[in-house]
Amino acid sequence: MQLLADLISTLAAIAAAGYCLVLARRLKRFNQLETGMGGAIAVLSAQVDDMTRALERAQATATHSETQLRALTERAENGAEKLELMLAALHDLPEEDEPRRRVVRRRHRHEAMEAAE
């Protein structure tokens, strides 16, 4: 009986060793950088780094654009307020009943030019 138990445990140990060997080979292929998942993970990691840098640049650009847009909006609001004040001041001017007369000025010719004619 003891011999049978030793034989079964030896066969179980050999089977476990074979299973570990198969798993080790699969893991080695899985982690190869050129053809396996290790390569895919390395490529994806590099792409994540690139995208992170691109996102940081885009955020910096957006922040700068937001600052410029805010400044331009404030300038436009100030200009609109000034225009509203000017329009209000124009409404306060008295209206003239008689039409404006145009003043036409004539040029005086020099005497030397009149002699030439």
Residue 104 lies in a domain: no
Residue 84 lies in a domain: yes
What number is the average pLDDT over the span 41-56?
A: 93
Greater confidence (46 vs 40) lies with: 46
Residue 80 lies in a domain: yes
Residue 21 lies in a domain: no
Q: Structurally, how many domains does the chain consist of?
A: 1
Residue 52 lies in a domain: yes
Using a cut of 0.75, tell me whether the model's pTM lies above it: no
Could you tell me the CA-to-CA distances from 108 to 43, 103, 112, 114 in Å, in that order? 88, 16, 12, 10
Mind listing the pLDDT tens digit for each residue in 70-97? 999 999 999 999 999 988 888 777 776 6
pLDDT at 112 over 60: no
| Residue-range definition of the domain harbouring residue 87 | 47-91
Could you tell me the CA-to-CA distances from 96 to 99, 102, 104 in Å, in that order? 7, 15, 21
Residue 81 lies in a domain: yes
Residue 4 lies in a domain: no
